[in-house]
Amino acid sequence: MSTAFTIRTGTLDDIFAAHRRVPELDDPKKIADYKKRIAGAYHIALIAEDKGAPIGFKLGYALSAAEFYSWVGGVDPAYRKHGAAQDLLDKQEELVAAAGYSIIRVKSMNCYPGMLRLLVKNGYRIDGYEANNGPDDCKILFCKSPP
């Protein structure tokens, strides 16, 4: 069951502020890196807030006219298991569907078991695999048609 977090669209500055609250993202990207990644592409930047403070985020962008890529996101550890990640995922799916995309793609890794569980629980299907240095940092590719 979800706590009543506010989910809103945000700026890249908002995304960067929330990004710093997620310890797994220990090599914070610079705002310029975010801008470069989404430059010229339709994108969705979502912020989860508790009492006006950023506690999580989700950022994704169009890969093509049909495909949307849910690129990066996370939730402050103090707010995990309270529904913020689910709220962010639900809002992103709603906006992706409203924008007319027919597929959402996302990658995750074994070192993020909570994210893997969230994706499977929400009907994302394994669509591929990218090997890296070891089993914890290999990438598992998922896809889903938006609701």
Share of the chain above pLDDT 70, in %: 95
pLDDT score, position 26: 66
Asked if residue 1 belongs to a domain, the reply is: no
**For the CA atoms of 114, 128, 38, 10, what is the dihedral angle to 10 degrees?**
-20
Mean pLDDT confidence for 48-68: 96
Three-state secondary structure readout of 81-146? CCCHHHHHHHHHHHHHHHCCCCEEEEEEECCCHHHHHHHHHCCCEEEEEECCCCCCCCEEEEEECC
Q: Which domain holds residue 61?
A: 6-144
Query: What tokens were used for 21?
Result: 């609250």
Contacts of 95 (CB under 8 A, 6+ apart): 44, 46
Question: pLDDT value at position 134?
Answer: 87
Q: What is the pTM of this model?
A: 0.92
CATH of the domain at 28: 3.40.630.30
What is the tens place of the pLDDT at every residue in 116-142? 999 999 999 999 999 988 888 899 999
For 75, the token pair is 């939730």
Q: How many folded domains does the chain comprise?
A: 1
Q: Is residue 125 part of a domain?
A: yes
pLDDT at 27 over 80: no
- Establish if 52 belongs to a structural domain: yes
Each residue of 29-56: pLDDT tens digit? 677 788 888 988 899 999 999 999 999 9
Is pLDDT of 77 > 80? yes
**Residue 58 falls within a domain, yes or no?**
yes
Report the candidate in 12, 14, 69 with the shortest Cα–Cα distance to residue 42.
69
Assess if residue 112 is contained within a domain. Answer: yes
Question: Order of strands across the sheet with 6-9?
Answer: 6-9, 43-50, 53-62, 67-75, 103-109, 139-144, 125-130
